[in-house]
Structure 1
Amino acid sequence: MDATLIRAAQGGSEEAFARLVDRHQQALRGFLRRACGNWALADDLAQEALLTAWSRIDRLDEDANVRAWFCGIGYNKCLTELRSGRRARRREADYQSSDQRSPGVAPEDRLALEQAMAALPLEQRAVVALCLAAEFSHADAADALGLPLGTVKSHVTRGRARLMEALGARDDGR
C-alpha cells in the first residue's frame, strides 16, 4: 500500500502524503521521544522531519520502508538539534515538567531506566529505542540510522546489557 501512496505523493498528491504520515507518524514520534528523552522536542523534530520528507518525497524509492525513512530523517534532525544545543534549557525544563510514567512500572525502575538510557551514547540510545522499544528489526534500524547492520546488533547487545544492569535484572540475551 505504501508504494501506491509514494507514487501518488511523488505526483504531487498531498492527500497521499498525508495518508503516509497518518500510517507512520506515531512510530516516528515514539522513536524520537525515546532517542531525545524529551517529548516536546521530539514532537517538534517529528514535524520538521515530516516537512523535510515532503520536500524530498521525489527521492524516495517506491519500495522503500517509509517508517524507516521517516525515522532516519528524524534521527538526523535529532543529531543536529542535540549538537547545536539551541534548546538545551528548554529541553531540560520540558523534560523535568513532563509526566512520563509508564503504567505498571515502579517509579524507581522508570527513573533507573531513564537514567540508563540517558547515559547511553546517542547512537546506541537511538538503536535501543528503535530495536527494543519500537520493535524495529535490526535491518530496519540500520537503514533508518544509516549504520552498518553489525554496528546495530552490537549497540543492541551492549545497550540491553547496560539497561538490565541499571534495573538490577539478569540479561538472558532474549
Structure 2
Amino acid sequence: MDAGGASHPTDQALAEAAKAGSSRAFSELVLRHQAAVRGFLRRVCADPSEADDMAQEALVTAWTKIGTLKPDASVRSWFCGLAWRKAMTTQRGRARSAARDRQWLETRPEFDTPAARDQIAVRKALDNLPEDQRAVVALCLAGDWSHAEAAEALGLPLGTVKSHAARGRAKLLEAMGEAP
C-alpha cells in the first residue's frame, strides 16, 4: 500500500487486465519496465537512438502479443525478450543488406575505380557520424549552406554547428586517407 492506502497491482494482475483489453493496464506495465528495456537495448546496440526506436517497436509489438505472455512469466523478461528479438532481426537485416551491397559491388567491376572507392569510403564515414553531425556535414560541406543557415534549419546553436562541421570534415578526410 502507498501513503494514500491504495495498493499497487502486481505485474501479473496488470498483464491479465491487459490481456482482457485494458490499455491502461498495459500502459502501466510499459511505465514500469520501459527503462529496463531501453537500458538493455542501449547496452547491446551501438546507436542509442536506434536502441530507443527498437525499444519503442518492441513495446508496440508487446501490445499486439500480450496474449502470448504466460501467466507466471516475468513481464520485464518478456519485454526484454521481445526487444532482443527485434534487435536480432534488425542486425540480420543489416547483415543481409551489407551482403547484397558487397555482392553487387563484386559483380560490377567496372565501377571499382578510385573514385568509386572514395565515394564508398565517404558514405561509410558519413554513416558513422552521429545524426546531428551528419546533418551538418550534409548541409554545410555537401550542400554549401552557411553555418548560420544550418544552425537555423537544424535548431542547433551556431557553435555546435561549427564544431560538428569541423569534426565531420576531419572524419571524412580521414576516411579518404588524407590528413585533416
Which TM-score applies when normalising by structure 1? 0.51
After superposition, the C-alpha distances for 1:32-73 in whole angstroms (9 at most, x for unaligned) are 001012110000000110011000001111211111111111
Corresponding residue of 2:159: none
Aligned equivalent of 1:6: 15
* 5+ long unaligned stretches in structure 2: 1-9, 99-123, 134-180
Aligned counterpart, 2:129: 93
Q: Would you say the 8 A contact 1:33–1:43 is kept in 2?
A: yes
1:74 aligned partner? 83
Displacement of 1:16: 0.2
Say which SS state the counterpart of residue 93 (structure 1) adopts: coil
Matched AA of 1:93: L
1:91/1:72 CA distance change after superposition, 3 Å: farther
Offset at 1:96? 9.6
1:28 pairs with 2:40: no
Map of 1:37 onto structure 2: 46
Match of 2:130, SS state, is helix
**For each residue in 1:75-103, what CA deviation from the matched residue of structure 2 results, as whole angstroms up to 9, or x when unmatched?**
11111111212999687333896xxxxxx
* Greater C-alpha Rg: 2
Aligned CA RMSD, in angstroms, stands at 2.5
- Read off the aligned partner of 2:45 and give its amino acid letter: C
Aligned-partner residue type, residue 42 of structure 1? A
Count, aligned residues: 97
Instruction: Name the amino acid aligned to 1:6.
Output: A
Partner of 2:28: 19
Letter in 1 for 2:63: W
